């Protein structure tokens, strides 16, 4: 089993145990697994095709092949935990995790499922680093600095984060330990180049869509910024257009690095921030290119917060923004 699948299983098992749900046959059939994964197990893909090219199809290890597809993590999670409901994987660039969360909430609203494990997972391997380097996407100074004038590219990372999502009424009725609520989404897509991002105006429209559906103004923003020149600039302009200068802005990727399924990790980080009343800083930000925003710089800030705008903007122009609130306030629906 690949590391990609292993860390997804570990995160999902921990999330399921924290949910307090008792698995039986009825619950198993009404529980789904939705994963967001950028590229799957690149290490397994490299091993499989290396064997195919060097030794031919008759000498290739068939046991490696299942680990080469992006949906293998979701499959392993279902098998390991005994989940028999819907099983889907999103591989949508930088917003794979956000897209998985969006789809999972739709399953709950349509009552296709009663609970959904949502997992965002990616692994970091040498072949992936070589590919990103050849595309000139990596930071040449090995520096993460979202929104800063000195930013020059990403530092890739790996990890897995999982959450269990239910309808608010169901979780409340069973006395669940509710961490927060997913309140509303804004989604969209631009027709831009493969490694380009949506325009500031387009990003602002998606932010506004989420805000209007939620009917609230966020207490802070978890930005999509990943230390690339175009994304960070466009997002800063969009935030200023939609929300002005006062709402605090943080960027989790400055702390964890950049991987395509980080949206679920941003979700968990935002809920922890709300619970603890602390907004983490943007590491590496000293000299913002776009001034006039309330960037959280250098040190975490204690604050009375109960809502967060989580931005997800991917290369290729896809967009998912979501509003989450703390356990003291229910979802809008």
DSSP 80-141: HHT--S-EEEE--GGGHHHHHHHHHHHHHHTTS-SEEEEEEEE---HHHHHHHHHTT-B-TT
Q: What average pLDDT does the chain have?
A: 94
What pLDDT is stored for residue 55 in this prediction?
Answer: 87
Q: How many residues does the chain have?
A: 333
Between CA 178 and CA 175 the distance in angstroms is 8
Structural tokens at position 31: 């529980």
Q: What is the mean pLDDT of residues 116-142?
A: 93
Instruction: Say yes or no to pLDDT of 196 above 50.
Output: yes
Between CA 236 and CA 149 the distance in angstroms is 12
What pLDDT is stored for residue 329 in this prediction?
Answer: 59
Q: 299 with 149: CB under 8 angstroms?
A: no
Domains defined for the chain, CATH in brackets: 3-123+158-173 (3.40.47.10), 180-326 (3.40.47.10)
DSSP 231-245: HHHHHHHHHHHHHTT
**Confidence band of 155 (pLDDT split at 50, 70, 90):** very high
**Confidence band of 327 (pLDDT split at 50, 70, 90):** confident
Share of the chain above pLDDT 70, in %: 98
pLDDT digits (tens, 9 = 90+) for 23-33: 999 999 999 99
pLDDT digits (tens, 9 = 90+) for 210-230: 999 999 999 999 999 999 999
pLDDT digits (tens, 9 = 90+) for 278-320: 999 999 999 999 999 999 998 999 999 999 999 999 999 999 9
**Confidence band of 333 (pLDDT split at 50, 70, 90):** very low
> Which pTM was predicted?
0.94
């Amino acid at each position: 089993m690949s590391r990609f699948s292993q860390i997804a299983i570990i995160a999902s098992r921990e999330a399921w145990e924290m949910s307090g749900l008792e698995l039986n046959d009825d619950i198993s059939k009404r529980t789904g697994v939705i994963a967001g994964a950028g590229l799957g197990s690149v290490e397994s893909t490299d091993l499989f095709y290396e064997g195919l090219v060097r030794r031919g199809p008759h000498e290739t290890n068939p046991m490696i092949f299942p680990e080469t597809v992006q949906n293998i993590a979701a499959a392993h999670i279902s098998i390991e935990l005994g989940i028999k409901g819907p099983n889907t994987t999103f591989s949508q660039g930088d917003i794979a995790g956000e897209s998985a969360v969006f789809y999972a909430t739709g399953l709950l609203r349509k009552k296709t499922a009663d609970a959904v494990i949502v997992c965002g997972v990616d692994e970091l391997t040498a072949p992936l680093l070589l590919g990103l380097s050849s595309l000139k996407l990596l930071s040449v100074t090995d520096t993460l600095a979202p929104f800063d004038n000195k930013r020059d590219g990403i530092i890739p990372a790996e990890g897995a984060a999982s959450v269990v999502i239910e309808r608010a009424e169901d979780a409340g009725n069973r006395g669940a330990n509710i961490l927060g609520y997913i309140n509303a989404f804004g989604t969209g897509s631009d027709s831009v180049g493969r490694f380009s991002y949506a325009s500031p105006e387009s990003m602002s429209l998606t932010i506004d869509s989420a805000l209007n559906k939620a009917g609230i103004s966020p207490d802070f923003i978890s930005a999509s910024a990943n230390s690339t020149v175009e994304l960070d600039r466009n997002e800063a302009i969009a935030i200023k257009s939609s929300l002005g200068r006062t709402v605090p802005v943080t960027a989790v990727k400055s702390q964890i690095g950049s991987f395509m399924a980080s949206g679920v990790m941003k979700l968990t980080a935002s809920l922890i921030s709300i619970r603890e009343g602390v907004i983490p800083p943007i590491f590496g930000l000293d000299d913002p290119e776009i001034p006039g925003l309330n960037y959280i710089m250098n040190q975490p800030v204690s604050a009375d917060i109960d809502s967060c705008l989580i931005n997800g903007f991917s290369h290729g122009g896809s967009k998912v923004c979501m509003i989450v609130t703390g356990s003291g306030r229910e979802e809008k629906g």
